Amino acid sequence: MHVPVQAIDREIWRDGVASEGARLIPEETPLALTYNGGTYAVMMGTPQNLEDFAVGFSLDEGIIKSVDDVKSLEVVRLDDGIELRMWLASEDAARISERRRHIAGPTGCGICGIDSIAEAVRPAAVVPQGQTFTPEQIMTAMQAIAPLQSINLQTRAVHAAAFWSPAGGIIALREDVGRHNALDKLAGSLARSRTGASGGMVLLTSRVSVEMVQKTAAIGAPVMVAVSAPTALAVRTAEAAGITLIAIARQDGFEVFSHGGRVVARHATEVADVA
């Protein structure tokens, strides 16, 4: 069944006592991404916001340069999975045929099937300067995620990626059992709504690996904030891409690992506004 959440009966043991009951858990299904009739990748993910996932994956992988490059997109639900069938312009199709790879991506896999070290650690796009944010704005943004995670509120088992701006708060939020999938879905949502990312922050409920930085750079967001720690390679990649990488964001604060100039105290921004 291709629904995001399933009720599953289970046996419960607590304090040495057994009981029974149902629990809501997230669904996981194969998602095949095809371009002009050929399969490019098969990822495991949550069957929700699939048009966003298809577009975001295509952008973040560099398969397309704009949402307009996708001439048609069809979500085809099969017995054992879902196909995301996309048709691209002829020049894009030719490029795909040269680099097509068949990959089976387990949940949480971000670079499965990459066949060279150079491709795995490819330089991220350099983001625009964007704007500065106060610590209060960063904390407010992160605290806004949890109430909007509808699947996670039911299951406590999925990741989220969100985009926050000073003017609009949480503009978009996407969930998935895979953290990379959630970020791809967010990228697709922003692209399909024509939302520019230079004025806001990408928020993550996961750790920060290099692929998450590469995807955030492809989105064009100058700041990314995560609840868990980054890897060393992620920090180096963020530094090279001009991204402010903020991690270990908790209720009492956060840690800034690169380009800290975008984080300024409230009084500094107020002085700048007056000037």
Residues annotated as catalytic are 109
Paired sense of beta strands 253-258 and 244-250, if any? antiparallel
Q: Side chain identity at 223, as an amino acid letter?
A: V
